[in-house]
Chains A and B, each alone.
Chain A
Amino acid sequence: MNHWIILPILLPAIVAPVLVLAARYDLGLARALSLGTAVLALGLALGLLLSASDSSVAQVYALGDWPAPFGIVLVLDRLSALMLMLAALLSLVVLLYAVGDSDGRGRHFHALWQFQVMGINGAFLTGDFFNLFVFFEVLLIASYGLMVHGGGAQRVRAGVQYVVVNLVGSTLFLIAVGLIYSVTGTLNMADLAVKVPEVAAGDRALLHAGALLLLLVFGVKAALVPVHFWLPGTYGSTSAVVAALFAIMTKVGAYSILRLYVLAFGPEAGASALLAAQWLLPAAMLTLALGMIGVLAARSLSQLASFAVIGSMGTLLIAVGLFSAQATSAALYYMLHSTLAVAALFLIAEQVGLRRKSAGEALIVGRQFESRSLLAALFFVNAIALCGLPPLSGFIGKLLVLDAARDSASMLWIWALVLSTSLLALVGFARAGSTVFWKETVSADFRPLCAPGAPLPLVAIGVLLASLVLLTVFAGPITLWLDEAAAQLYQPSHYIDAVLGAAGGNE
């Protein structure tokens, strides 16, 4: 057994209480501990990524050496290793931004951050539904604290709404898990995949109700229309660092959809095959349209970024909803790109807002501000990536999605929608950029507004954009790797054999 698999969960779980107990009043120590942990986590994720690429089968870690399906297992395959890597990278870079800017505005920022990372990593690794629920709760309860970091009436009010929406989501999650358990008698994902084709015809409706209820729950996390409404209020009201980290949370929803509906309700599930496809694809198309229209209608930069999240989730879920290995590979590439790009946009928006003083992040003409040309350049690169213009990764991502949709029955719809919404996004970003960066009100003195210009936030944004460039330059090897990850995902027998075959526990 590979004991490294549990470390992405254990490491933040140990550091977070230490942060609360030992580094409570010492921001410097907290920063050092938190950044150190994030660097370690990145190294760990890299190691796991390499180890997952080496072995063709999934690696299983049985907690307490109890064999599945009786014990709890963690499963590491290419997909989960990729998600761990993305989460670790995002967490480190955004933490770098936070250290230079806003982590001192409220208590326990770093501890909550580590708990959040623990929940995210756990959700990517777990091999059964109930622990998926538990890790969802861990990441949510940390996110409730992070969401209101810094305080303010507007933020707390939006926070209450966010908590209520997610508590209802958790309730539905439990009901769905209960329904699935009552029919199949198992919560282990691999065991479920074995049992779904064998369910009696009379019980199948109950199973489908449970499975589609789960789709609704994951849809809430992934901001799928019509349950996306919580996202603009939440992401637009919270601080930029938190919104940037939350960029990975919508992907937790997408990951769960990909995992469950390919493994247990995939092409090989008999009468339940491709259960989610007929619901997911139309909903994802609506999500894309609505998100990009929102980009066009946004009144502030953070609102623009929030709707860009919804739009990118739409594109991602269209690719997921096609349910083929090629489309899934495209979805994974687009996910890497959109997570990093959207996070960068939230950070740029806050930097602009800080410098523009009274005009803030609103899309109105304001006075000239400090380091405007640098921020304008960053925004420009970011907008190119997010709209999907060549030469950056957004273009490649959308091209892959369009290519994967060629064999689909709804190809015409997908092509028309993706291309026309890209135009909407382009117009929206062009309007926002020209209002904020090109126009200015002329005042008596031309002295630009000064703001505390800490270099670290700009470095963090630069790193995010540089990773987009790297994603573009190394698109060839990355897509080859992702092809294998998707192929592995679409051979559920490997996953099932790895989990249930590990019954001896001594592998």
Chain B
Amino acid sequence: MEFLLASAIGVMTATGVYLLLRARTFPVVLGLALLSYATNVFLFAMGRLAVNRPPVVDALARGYTDPLPQALVLTAIVISFGMTAVLVVMSLRSFIESGDDGVDVLVQPTEDELGGSAPRTAASSAREASQ
């Protein structure tokens, strides 16, 4: 069970980090979701792994599993759910307002561009330069 759990956390974290490093918002959102899953499972394991043990007082119990990490995970799940929702909304808004779903910050118009050309991303200026 330890191996299964540890490798699951590892794979989820690695995938999450990989997706996070993409330049578009959708993979980044997915990457963050995977990272938060990995964190939740990790937190859960911090109370040590125990099978068939109750977390709260029980007259018949031989031993207990630590209830605190479970409470923490519950809180963390709620928070990461809310944060993911916020991030999705903001990514959509960013896509609608700027017309592409890149993650990099728009380049501030420089002095000679102040005449009114639209703001560009670093990626799109690089594309233009290469053409």
Contacts and interface: CB of A to CB of B under 8 A. Distances in A.
A25 B117 CA distance: 36
Interface size classification for chain A? 35 or more
A466 interface: no
B14 interface: no
Contact of A157 (B42, B80, B98): B98
Interface in B91-111: 91, 93-94, 97-99, 102-106, 108, 110-111
B106 A157 contact: yes
A168 B108 contact: no
Contact of B87 (A156, A160, A175, A358): A160
B114 A362 contact: yes
A13 interface: no
A498 interface: no
A295 B106 CA distance: 21
Contacts of A354: none
Contacts of A144: 86, 90
Given A178-B46, A299-B108, A168 B93 contact: no
Nearest to A180: B46
Name A's interface SS.
Answer: helix
A182 to B, nearest CB: 4
Contacts of B111: 299, 362, 364
A167 B43 contact: no
A161 B42 contact: no
Contacts of A50: none
B117 to A, nearest CB: 13
Nearest to A300: B108
Given A137-B79, A181-B46, A160 B25 contact: yes
Interface residues of B, number: 40
Contacts of B82: 141
A45 interface: no
A227 to B, nearest CB: 15
Contacts, number: 114
Contacts of B54: none
Contact of B32 (A141, A161, A164, A175): A164
A81 B112 CA distance: 49
A362 to B, nearest CB: 7
A151 B69 CA distance: 39
A388 B29 CA distance: 43
Interface string A138-165: 0001001000100111101111110110
Interface of B: 20, 25, 28, 32, 35-36, 39, 42-43, 46-48, 68-69, 72, 75-76, 79-80, 82-83, 86-87, 90-91, 93-94, 97-99, 102-106, 108, 110-111, 114, 119
30 contacts: A130-B75, A134-B79, A137-B79, A141-B86, A144-B86, A153-B119, A154-B105, A156-B94, A156-B98, A157-B97, A157-B105, A160-B90, A160-B91, A161-B105, A163-B87, A167-B32, A167-B87, A168-B20, A170-B83, A171-B32, A174-B39, A174-B76, A175-B42, A175-B43, A177-B72, A181-B72, A237-B105, A299-B111, A359-B114, A360-B114
Closest 5 CB pairs of A and B: A153-B98, A182-B46, A153-B97, A178-B46, A178-B43
